[in-house]
Amino acid sequence: MSTSAQATNSQLRIVVVGNGMVGHHFVDQLIEHNTSVGADNSALHISVLSAEPRLAYDRVHLSEFFSGKSADELALTTPEYYQQHKIDYKLNAAVTHIDKVAKTVTTVQGEVLSYNKLILATGSYPFVPPIPGNDQPHCLVYRTIEDLEAISASSKVSKIGVVVGGGLLGLEAANALKEAGLETHVVEFAPQLMAVQVDGGGGRLLRSKIEALGVKVHTQKATQTIEAGDVCRYKMCFADGSFLETDMILFSAGIRPQDKLAREFDIAIGERGGIVVDNHCQTNIDDIYAIGECALWNNFIFGLVAPGYTMARVAAAHILGGDQTFLGADMSTKLKLMGVEVGSIGDAHAKTAGALCYTYENQASAVYKKMVVDSSKKKLIGAVLVGDTSDYDTLLQYALNGIDLPEHPEALILPASGGAKPGLGADALPATATICSCHNVSKGDIIAAFDGGACSLSDIKSCTKASSGCGGCSALLKSVCDAELSKRGVEVKKDICEHFAYSRQELFHLVKVGKLQTFDELLTKHGKGLGCEVCKPAAANILASVWNEFILKPDHVSLQDTNDTYLGNMQKDGTYSIIPRIAGGEITPDKLIVLGQVGKKYNLYTKITGGQRIDLFGARVDQLPEIWKILIDAGFETGHAYAKSLRTVKSCVGSTWCRYGVQDSVGQAIELENRYKGLRSPHKLKFAVSGCTRECAEAQSKDIGIIATENGWNLYVCGNGGMKPRHADLFATDLDTETLVKYIDRVLMFYVRTADRLQRTSVWMENLEGGLEYLKQVVIEDSLGLGAELESQMQVVVDAYQCEWKTAIENEESRKRFRQFVNSDKADTNIVFVEERQQIRPATPEEKASFTQQQQAKRIAVELV
Amino acid sequence: MTNSTNWITVCQESDLVANSGVCALINEQQIALFKVKNAGQEQLFAISNWDPIGEANVLYRGLLCSVGDTVAVASPLYKQRFCLSSGTCLDSDDVTIKVYPIRLENQAVQLQVSQ
Ligand SMILES: Cc1cc2nc3c(=O)[nH]c(=O)nc-3n(C[C@H](O)[C@H](O)[C@H](O)COP(=O)(O)OP(=O)(O)OC[C@H]3O[C@@H](n4cnc5c(N)ncnc54)[C@H](O)[C@@H]3O)c2cc1C
C-alpha cells in the first residue's frame, strides 16, 4: 500500500527510512511544523519508507497484543492521517541502496527516490546467539506484531516454552508465554536476572518472586546446541552438561542496532555497531541523519523510546534551522514484570568512585530497595527498587535535578513509621525538572501552559502531551498540576448543578448522614430552585443506592429519567425496548418460546444484546404493562436495562460443559447477577465471569471481571469496553467465592459512595488518588476501617430488592402512568413502522409523510363512495 | 381573548402528576400537561407534546427543571429544555413550541384551544 504526493521542485525532499516509533515521531514533528505554517504552501515534501506491512505502532506496549489489544489499537497513526498531511508513504518497502552522490535511495521493489535530507530510523533487531539449531521452526523472537502472531500460533501447539535471556524484554516475553498457558522457563547466561538494571540483591529477590509465580529460572547457563528432543520438540544442551527439553524457544538475548545500510554504503559506524551521530544526530555524511535505536551517540546506544523521541525532535529542528542538541539521556526505568515492580535509576551498580549505598531489604514482604549517593552524601546518583516502586518518582527527581538530600537520606526508602515520609512535594521541584520524559515536558512547560490559559489537568495533557507516552509520570503530573492550580487559587468546582453547591459524593453523605429519604427534603435542606434534569436523576440514584425503595413511589416518580419512569429504554420514536433479565445468559427453551410469542403478538423487533440477553423493540408506552404481565407470569423479571445499575453478568459456558473450563462460570455468574441486580450506581455496571484463562466472556473489559483459576477466582476491576476502552486491573487472585463476594461488595459500595455522577468505574479508577493500590488497601487491608460498613450497606440493598415491573403492574397508581393520553385510549399516530428483513423498524420521516398521504387518500376514497 | 365558551375540559386534577407530566389528545393534537409545585404554590402548564428536535411525541415524559426563575421541561430524547410558559427552547435559539392557556375549574383541568 502506498500513497504519493508529487514533490515540487522548490520543496525540500525529506526521506525517512523506517517507520518505527522514532521514525514516526520525527514525521509527527514535521507535520506539526507544516501545520503551523499551513500545509499547502509547505516547503517540505516528506516520504516514509517502511519495511513493515503497517505504519508505526506502539512497540513499548507490544505485549498487550497478547492480552487482547489489536494491531489497530496499538497503532500510533493511521493511513488517513498521513494522507491528510500529504505524507507520501510506502509499506513493505525496505530500503536496499543509498547513493550518497546522486542523493537517492532504492527500495526492495526497485523504486528510486531522491532526497535532500535522509533520515535513518531503522531501529534495531533482536540478537539471536549463534547456536546450532537456532533457525528451526518454533525458534522465535519478540520485536514485531508478526513475531507475536508467530508466538501465539506456536504456543497453541506447544506445552513448554523457554525464553533465552533474563533481561527486561526476556521477562516480559516469559510473562506472555506463561499467560498463554505454557510451562515457562527463563535461561540466562549471567548469574542473575536483569543484570543491567538491578544489582545482585535486587536480582535475587526478583528471581524468587518470579519463581513464586511458577516460572523456572536457570542462571549461568550457556546454550550450546538445540537438538531434537526426547519428550518435547527440542532439547537445549548447556555448556555444563545439563539440558532442558522444550517445544518452543524465544530468543531475547539483547538487541543490535540495524545499521546494515550504513555498513554497506559506507556511513561511519561504531566498533560494536550503531550509526555514529553527533549532537544534532547527523552522521559523518552530509544531509544524512540517524535517530532512535540505530544511532550511536558518544559510543552509546539508547534502547528506550524517550531518548529516541528526543533525537527525533533534535534532527527535525536541525533540518528546519533550529539548534537543539542531543546530549545523552537518562536511562532510568520503572516497570512491572509479571506483577513484580522493578525500578532502576542512574548508577544502579554504584560504580561511581566514592559512591555509598543505603540498602533496605524486607524478605518477609519481598521488598528490596537501594539508594546510591555520592561521596559527599548530598546527591542521589542511583537506586534499585524491587517489589515496591512507590518511592521511584521522588528518588528520580532527586537524581535528575541534583536536589540536596535530606539529613537522613535513608528515610527516603525506609517504611514510614508513624509520621509521613519526607516526600518531595511538587513545589520542591525546580522549573527545569523533567516531568514527562517521553514528550520532554518540564515543570516549567506546565507552568507556561497554565499561564497560556490551560485550566485543568486534562488541558495540560492535551496541550503539552505530558503523560501520553509511557504514562509513567501520571501521578507526578497530577500532583504538579494540583499544586499549580491551588497556587493560582483555582478551586476545582464540583457542584453538580445550579441547584446544589455540592459534588455527588457530598450529596451522598448528606443523604446518608441526614437520613434523608426524599428529594424534597434534600432540596429544602441543601438546595435551591426546583431541581433539574441533572440533579434529580442523580438524587434519585443516590436515594436508591442508600434506601433502595420502589423508584416509582410518588415521592420519587418525578425525579426519574424517562427510562426509569417507564422502566424501559426510550428509542428515537418514543417507543420503548424491553429487556427481561436472563441471568448469566442462561435461559430455558420454554422461556425463549415466551419471548418469541410476545415478540410475535406485539409485533416487536427482536435482537440479541451484547450482554447475552434478548431485546424487544417498538413497544408503545401503553403496551408496556400488558407485555410485562405476560413476561412476569412466565417467570421473567426486569432486566434493569434502563437503569444506572447492574446490567448483566456475562459468562462463558464454564467447566460444566467446556473441555477447558476449570470452574462453573455460569453458576457463579447467576449467583452474582442475582446478588447485585437492582443496585443503583453512579453509572451502569457490567460484569463477566470466564471459566478459564481463555477468557471467552471478555471479563477484562468489564467493571467487575472474574476469571476462574485452578484454585478459585481472579478478580479484575474497573475495565470498560465501549467508547473509551480500559483494560481491567487485576485486583486479587485465587479467591474463594466468599472472599470474592466480600471484595466485590466493598469495591462496588466504595464506588457508589465516592464516584461522580455518570462516572464509570474505569474513569473513577483513573481519578482515584492512589489508584489501584489505594483501592486494594481500602478493600483488602481495610485501611479505612470501612469494610464492614460497606458490606452491610450492600446487604441492605440486596435485601430490599424487588422486581420493579412486578410492583409497577400490581400498583394501580403506577400503572396509570403507562398511557399516552389521559383522556383517550388512542395510540400515538406518529409511531409508524415499516418492514425490513422480516421485522419492523421505525419509518423515516419521508416514509411517514407518504404514509399519511396514503391514509388521507384512503379516507377521501371512503367518503366518496 | 379569554372567553369561557372555548375552554374545554380535558381531565380531572387527579389525573395530573405533581412535578411531572401527562398528555391529552384534543382534536388530534397532543398536548403535554404539567403540574408544578413551586414554593407552596401549584401551577399548571400546557405545551405541545411534539419535540421538534427529536421529532417524536414525548415532551410529557421529560424531567421538569428550573433555570433561574424559568420553569422548563427537558426532552427525554436529547435533553433540550423548553420553557413551559413561553415555549422557547433554552438550548436552541430558533426553536419554539406552542403553549396553551390552561386553568383549573372545580377540579376540572381546562384548556383553551383555538377553534
Ligand atoms: C517488547 C518490547 C517492550 C519494550 N518496552 C519498552 C519500555 O517499556 N520502555 C521503553 O522506553 N522502550 C521499550 N522498548 C523499546 C522501544 O520499543 C524502542 O526503543 C523503540 O521502538 C525504538 O524506536 P525506533 O524507531 O528506533 O525503532 P523501531 O521501533 O524498531 O523501528 C524501526 C523500523 O525501521 C524498519 N526498518 C529497518 N530497516 C529498514 C530498511 N532498510 N528500510 C525500511 N525500514 C527499515 C523496521 O522494520 C522498523 O519498523 C520495548 C521494545 C520491545 C520490543
Chain B residues touching residue A530 (CB < 8 angstroms)? 19, 36, 38, 64-66, 71
A163 lines ligand 1 (CB under 6 A): no
Residues A170, A215: Cα–Cα separation, whole Å: 12
Q: What is the pLDDT of residue A469?
A: 65
Res A486 pLDDT > 80: no
The residues pairing with A362 across neighbouring beta strands, listed in sequence order, are A367
Residues A807, A546: Cα–Cα separation, whole Å: 19
Pocket test for ligand 1, best of A67, A293, A302 (most atoms within 8 A of CB): A293
The number of domains in chain B is 1
Ligand 1 center to A775 CA (angstroms): 35
Ligand 1 atom closest to the Cα of residue A59 is 17
Res A493 pLDDT > 70: no
Chain B residues touching residue A572 (CB < 8 angstroms)? 54, 56, 77
Q: What is the pLDDT of residue A409?
A: 86
A645 lines ligand 1 (CB under 6 A): no
Ligand 1 center to A586 CA (angstroms): 47
Number of H helices, E strands in chain A: 27, 39
User: Is A473 labelled as part of a ligand binding site?
Assistant: no
Within a domain: B25: yes
A62 lines ligand 1 (CB under 6 A): yes
A718: distance to nearest CA of chain B, Å?
28
Chain A residues touching residue B16 (CB < 8 angstroms)? 822
pLDDT in tens, A551-607: 888 888 889 888 998 999 999 999 999 999 999 999 999 999 999 999 999 999 999
Give the pLDDT band (50/70/90) at residue A6.
low
* Biggest alpha carbon–alpha carbon distance for chain A: 112
Ranges A59-73, A371-385, A811-825, most confident: A371-385
Give the pLDDT band (50/70/90) at residue A419.
very low
- CA B73 to mean position of chain CA atoms: 9
A330 lines ligand 1 (CB under 6 A): no
Residues A749, A790: Cα–Cα separation, whole Å: 6
Within a domain: B51: yes
For residues A385 and A391, the answer to whether their CB atoms sit within 8 Å is yes
* The domain made up of A128-253 is a member of CATH 3.40.50.300: no
| Backbone phi and psi for residue A631, each to the nearest 5 degrees, phi listed first | -65, -45
* Interchain contact, B58 vs A574, CB within 8 Å: yes
Measured N-to-C along each axis, helices A474-487 and A392-401 cross at an angle, to the nearest 10 degrees, of: 70
Residues A361, A347: Cα–Cα separation, whole Å: 19
* Interchain contact, A537 vs B57, CB within 8 Å: no
A51 lines ligand 1 (CB under 6 A): yes
Q: What is the pLDDT of residue A428?
A: 73
Under CATH, which number does the domain A12-125+257-319 receive? 3.50.50.60
Res B32 pLDDT > 60: yes
Residues A277, A695: Cα–Cα separation, whole Å: 48
Residue A453: CB partners within 8 Å, gap ≥ 6?
A: none
Chain B residues touching residue A824 (CB < 8 angstroms)? 24-25
* Interchain contact, A822 vs B30, CB within 8 Å: no
Give the pLDDT band (50/70/90) at residue A8.
low
Q: What is the pLDDT of residue A864?
A: 42
Chain A residues touching residue B57 (CB < 8 angstroms)? 574, 820, 828, 830
Q: Which of A532, A559, A824 sits opposite B25 (nearest CB)?
A: A824
B56: distance to nearest CA of chain A, Å?
5
Ligand 1 center to A277 CA (angstroms): 18
Res A547 pLDDT > 50: yes
pLDDT in tens, A84-127: 889 999 999 999 999 999 999 999 999 999 999 999 999 999 99
Give the pLDDT band (50/70/90) at residue A408.
confident
Give the pLDDT band (50/70/90) at residue A470.
low
Give the pLDDT band (50/70/90) at residue A839.
very high
Within a domain: B9: no
> Residue type at A113?
L
Instruction: Give the CATH number, domain containing residue B56.
Output: 2.102.10.10
Ligand 1 center to A21 CA (angstroms): 6
User: Is A696 labelled as part of a ligand binding site?
Assistant: yes
> Residue type at A689?
V
Ligand 1 center to A290 CA (angstroms): 14
Chain A residues touching residue B64 (CB < 8 angstroms)? 530-531, 558
B3: distance to nearest CA of chain A, Å?
23
* Interchain contact, B23 vs A822, CB within 8 Å: yes
How far is the CA of A656 from the CAs of A448, A661, A679, A691, A696, in angstroms? 61, 8, 29, 9, 15
Indicate the length of chain A as a whole number.
865
* Interchain contact, B11 vs A823, CB within 8 Å: yes
- Least confident span in A34-48, A215-229, A356-370, B96-110: A34-48
Within a domain: B104: yes
> What is the domain partition of chain A in residue ranges?
12-125+257-319, 128-253, 331-415, 425-492, 495-533, 548-638+804-821, 645-802, 833-864
Chain B residues touching residue A820 (CB < 8 angstroms)? 23, 25, 30, 57
Confirm whether A12-125+257-319 and A128-253 share one CATH topology: yes
* Interchain contact, B81 vs A572, CB within 8 Å: no
Within A190-323, residue ranges assigned H as helices are 200-212, 260-264, 305-319
Provide the edge-to-edge strand list for the sheet that holds B108-112. B7-12, B108-112, B102-105
Within a domain: B102: yes
User: Is A692 labelled as part of a ligand binding site?
Assistant: yes
Res A279 pLDDT > 70: yes
Within 10 angstroms of residue B69's Cβ, the number of other Cβ atoms is 7
Under CATH, which number does the domain A548-638+804-821 receive? 3.30.70
Can you identify the CATH homologous superfamily of domain A425-492?
A: BFD-like [2Fe-2S]-binding domain (1.10.10.1100)
User: Is A803 labelled as part of a ligand binding site?
Assistant: no
Residues A344, A353: Cα–Cα separation, whole Å: 19
User: Least CA distance to B19: which residue of chain A?
Assistant: A558
Q: Which of B10, B18, B56 sits opposite A572 (nearest CB)?
A: B56
| Backbone phi and psi for residue B63, each to the nearest 5 degrees, phi listed first | -90, 140
**H or E stretch covering A666:** helix A665-676
Within a domain: B29: yes
Res A418 pLDDT > 50: no
User: Which of A530, A570, A819 to probe by mutation at the B interface, max B CB count within 10 Å?
Assistant: A530
Containing structural domain, residue B74: 18-110
For residues A742 and A734, the answer to whether their CB atoms sit within 8 Å is no
Task: Considering only residues A852 and A692, tell me which one the structure prediction assigns the higher pLDDT.
Answer: A692
Residues A170, A190: Cα–Cα separation, whole Å: 13
Q: What is the pLDDT of residue A424?
A: 61
A343 lines ligand 1 (CB under 6 A): no
A682 lines ligand 1 (CB under 6 A): no
- Kindly give the pairing relationship between strand A288-290 and strand A295-297: unpaired
Q: What is the pLDDT of residue A10?
A: 78
Within a domain: B12: no
Within a domain: B61: yes
Give the pLDDT band (50/70/90) at residue B1.
very low
A259 lines ligand 1 (CB under 6 A): no
Residues B44, B42: Cα–Cα separation, whole Å: 7
Q: What is the pLDDT of residue A410?
A: 87
Topology (CATH level 3) of domain A331-415: Enolase-like; domain 1 (3.30.390)
Residues A69, A724: Cα–Cα separation, whole Å: 13
Q: Which of B26, B38, B61 sits opposite A530 (nearest CB)?
A: B38
User: Which of B14, B15, B19, B43 to probe by mutation at the A interface, max A CB count within 10 Å?
Assistant: B19
- Least confident span in A754-758, A764-768, A849-853: A849-853
| Backbone phi and psi for residue A258, each to the nearest 5 degrees, phi listed first | -80, 90
Chain A residues touching residue B54 (CB < 8 angstroms)? 572
A258 lines ligand 1 (CB under 6 A): yes
Ligand 1 center to A330 CA (angstroms): 18
* Interchain contact, B25 vs A529, CB within 8 Å: no
For residues A650 and A666, the answer to whether their CB atoms sit within 8 Å is no
Query: Which ipTM was obtained for this model?
Result: 0.91
Atom 42 (ligand 1): residue with closest C-alpha?
A94
Ligand 1 atom closest to the Cα of residue A49 is 43
* The domain made up of A645-802 is a member of CATH 3.40.50.970: no
* Interchain contact, A572 vs B79, CB within 8 Å: no
Average pLDDT, chain A: 89
